[in-house]
Amino acid sequence: MNDALGILVPILVPLGLFAMIFGIFYVRNKERMAMIERGMDPRDVKPQSAPYQNLKWGLLLIGAGLGLFLAAILDNMAFDGDAPTAAIYFSLIAIFGGLGLFISYRIEKKEVLDKEKSNSAE
């Protein structure tokens, strides 16, 4: 089994990489051709900005870090290394990372509602 895997990996990895790059360029070309057919100039299209992207990533990483820190504390204090604690690490990272994303969503929603309220008041 290991011999077959050792032979297939050097063949399949470059093929997969080639397929991925080919697919990216193929889809990009199809998108540009569709824009040209509709009378749009592909060079004029600017990428959409994501104003809260840094906030989202920051809160996600802070939440994951807090989850990892809390899991390490629980592992050392409560379990004393007797039980397998990998599930605690993964679950707390996911819980606190999700909490960070939820907080980011709430902040973005509040900002959007405040902008709409100020625009309607004018």
Would you state the structure tokens that stand for residue 51, as one six-digit string?
């104003």
Contact predicate 88/75, CB 8 Å: yes
Express each pLDDT in 90-120 by its tens digit: 999 999 999 999 999 999 999 988 888 887 7
Contact predicate 56/101, CB 8 Å: yes
Measured distance CA(66)–CA(95) in Å, rounded: 10
72 and 30 share a domain? no
CA angle 98–100–102, rounded 5-degree value: 70
33 and 68 share a domain? no
64 and 117 share a domain? yes
73 and 114 share a domain? yes
Element (H, E) at 7: helix 2-37
35 and 72 share a domain? no
Express each pLDDT in 63-73 by its tens digit: 999 999 998 88
How many structural domains does the chain have?
2
64 and 38 share a domain? no
pTM above 0.75, yes or no: no
Would you state the structure tokens that stand for residue 35, as one six-digit string?
């824009």
66 and 114 share a domain? yes
14 and 33 share a domain? yes
**Average pLDDT over every residue of 50-75:** 90
58 and 90 share a domain? yes
Residue 89's domain comprises 53-121
